[in-house]
């Protein structure tokens, strides 16, 4: 049985289609080689572990001085979200240049205050106010700090006044607590002074907005 050969006109059209496909493939290959992937590099310049999320990838955890790199195929911008106890949570949009490495250095812009409840009671309120303010502001604690547990806030490096209230209504204070950049100040409830031995120097008002960030 003999197969009929295609008419000459059809053969020419088929060859032309193949040439077009081959030309397109070569063009795409050349285009890709002319615009190589860019690389995003992130470096943790703070003293604590850093959580980073790029676009919608899984979060990456970087220890102090550790770096992370990712080839950004076909992407010109990257959405970078990051947080750390010594870094306020931020979102940055980074332009990725083709064929180049773009580096984002994340440095500490804050310190932290950790309050330990080493008593048998439960802490129900925590107020953190800059020492220069006349007001305590709002309660910074959502929920409670139970016995032998702790809570941490990211704060700007400066002097802070601290007021803690337990569920029995006992009030404790510490004034002029200095918080340094990239450092955590740890405070035990038992080392705070009670209201009976230290007068309240501030007005119990929600006035004043003090930027703090609960992390733990």
CA distances from 170 to 57, 75, 114, 163, 199 (A): 46, 56, 19, 11, 13
- State residue 16's pLDDT score: 57
Tokens at 171, concatenated: 């009030």
- State residue 30's pLDDT score: 44
- State residue 120's pLDDT score: 85
Q: How far is CA 25 from the centre of its chain?
A: 42
CATH class of 111-206: mainly beta
H/E segment holding residue 23:
helix 8-34
In contact, 214 and 142? CB cutoff 8 Å = yes
Give pLDDT tens digits along the chain (216 positions).
445 554 555 545 555 555 655 554 444 444 445 557 899 999 999 999 999 999 989 999 999 999 999 998 766 789 999 999 999 999 999 999 888 899 999 999 999 999 999 988 999 999 999 999 989 999 999 899 999 999 999 999 999 999 999 999 999 999 999 999 999 999 998 777 776 555 567 766 555 556 677 667
Query: HSE of 69 in the Cβ direction (CA atoms, 13 Å)?
Result: 8
Which superfamily is assigned to 38-106 in CATH?
Answer: Domain of unknown function DUF5300 (2.60.40.2890)
* Tally of residues, the chain: 216
For the whole prediction, is pTM greater than 0.85? no
What are the residue ranges of CATH 2.60.40.2890 in the chain?
Answer: 38-106, 111-206
């Amino acid at each position: 049985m003999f197969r009929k050969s295609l008419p000459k006109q059809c053969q020419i059209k088929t060859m032309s289609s193949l040439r077009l496909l081959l030309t397109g493939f070569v063009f795409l290959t050349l285009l890709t080689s002319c615009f190589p992937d860019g690389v995003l590099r992130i470096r943790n310049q703070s003293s604590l572990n850093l959580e980073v999320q790029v676009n919608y990838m899984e979060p990456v955890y970087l220890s102090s001085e550790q770096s992370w790199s990712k080839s950004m195929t076909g992407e010109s911008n990257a959405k970078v979200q990051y947080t750390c106890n010594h870094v306020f949570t931020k979102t940055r949009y980074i332009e990725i240049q083709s064929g180049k490495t773009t580096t984002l250095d994340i440095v500490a812009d804050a310190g932290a205050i950790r309050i330990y409840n080493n008593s048998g009671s439960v802490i129900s309120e925590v107020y953190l106010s800059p020492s220069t303010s006349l007001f305590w502001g709002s309660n910074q604690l959502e929920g409670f700090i139970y016995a032998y547990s702790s809570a941490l806030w990211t704060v700007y490096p400066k002097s802070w006044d601290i007021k803690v209230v337990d569920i029995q209504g006992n009030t404790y204070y510490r004034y002029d607590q200095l918080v340094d950049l990239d450092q955590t100040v740890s405070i035990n409830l038992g080392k705070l002074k009670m209201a009976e031995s230290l007068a309240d120097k501030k007005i119990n008002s929600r006035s004043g907005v003090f930027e703090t960030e609960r992390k733990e």
